[in-house]
Amino acid sequence: MRRLLAAAVVETWSELGWLGHFAGFDNQAHPVFAVADFPIGWPDGKLASAAGRRRRPTAGRPRSSSPADDRTDRARHMRHAPAAILLAATFALALALALAPVAADARTFDEFQVFDGRVAEPGNIDFNQHLNLGRRGRSDDGAPRNGMLLTTEIGYATTPWHEVALLLPVAREFSGDVFGGGFKLRNSFVVPGAENRPFAYGFDVELRHQSTRFSDTNWGLTLRPILDFRSGPWQLILNPQVEFPIGRGGPVFSPAVRGVRQVAERAWIGLEHYMDFGRVNRIEATAAQAHQVFVTTDFRLGQTLGLHLGLGHGLTHASDRWAGKVILSFDF
């Protein structure tokens, strides 16, 4: 049985108002915390969890108390220590940036991510920490509009063809306030073994509930087809997604495309293009459309840790002038 050296937890507190008269969503309090726990040592020769509980020995394998076996056991677990340390450092950096006094317009920032046809192994948990930074230039009154979005994503694969993920964003408003961005619940349906197919496909259904500081409506639904083409070291991914704001406005066409080339055993470079053409029945003029292009690189650090970096630039006035993103993924 594999022992985990890190525990990732999401905590949230809610204040909805009086029992007989709940406040509107914008006036409710929903702070969200992403917490990482790490064991500090092995007292008495046993691995202690962050909560102070001790793991039971594997059934049928009595634990040896000899010093040599203890040293071997400790060395085996310490091989995962660099990944745990990197995860802790990323958490600390992300939380420090979230508390830094930076101004932002949270409604202009969202996740920049292209989805391929892969899901985790059934029964496995995926933990992803997203950090998006953006600069939108200057508004009409000359005030700079900068922003940051921190999103915690926890996914669980139920079958080889289905995965469910919960996303909890936290943003920084231009006034300096830090606030939670509701939640997103994504269900992914894909063909199994996408990494071994020249063509794979799938479909995402994503339900969100966020305040109007994030979107025009509190509730929304995104339908995201997935087309994944592979040939040798090359990969092309298309996400022609359509967003449906519930209760207001019409569906919005916002496709994304990603081209990737593997340049080393554990390294990839890529180019991504995110588009927002406006409502399906009323496509915006080119100047009013959003077109964001990213140069990306991906690294696989060991068997369980992945790192994605991207730097993007807007092609139109409606796009972010500059945007950066970091995605740290950890497979349990």
Position 25 scores a pLDDT of: 53
Domain residue ranges in the chain: 7-87, 105-331
pLDDT in tens, 101-112: 333 333 344 678
Report pTM.
0.66
Greatest mean pLDDT among 81-90, 304-313, 323-332: 304-313
How sure is the predictor about 233, in pLDDT bands with cuts at 50, 70 and 90?
very high
For the domain spanning 105-331, the CATH number is 2.40.160.40
How sure is the predictor about 317, in pLDDT bands with cuts at 50, 70 and 90?
confident
Position 109 scores a pLDDT of: 44
Q: Assign 3-class secondary structure to the chain.
A: CCCCCCEEEEEECCECEECCEECCHHHCECCEEEEEECCCCCHHHCCECCCCCECCCCCCCCCCCCHHHHHHHHHHHHCCHHHHHHHHHHHHHHHHHHHCCCCCCHHHCCCCCCCCCCCCCCCCEEEEEEEEEEEEEECCCCCEEEEEEEEEEEEEEEECCEEEEEEEEEEECCCCCEEECCEEEEEEEECCCHHHCCEEEEEEEEEEECCCCCCCCCEEEEEEEEEEEEECCEEEEEECCEEEECCCCCCEECCEEEEEEEEECCEEEEEEEEEECEECCEECCHHHCEEEEEEEEEEEECCCEEEEEEEEEECCCCCCCEEEEEEEEEEC
Q: Which of 78-87, 173-182, 202-211 has the lowest mean pLDDT?
A: 78-87
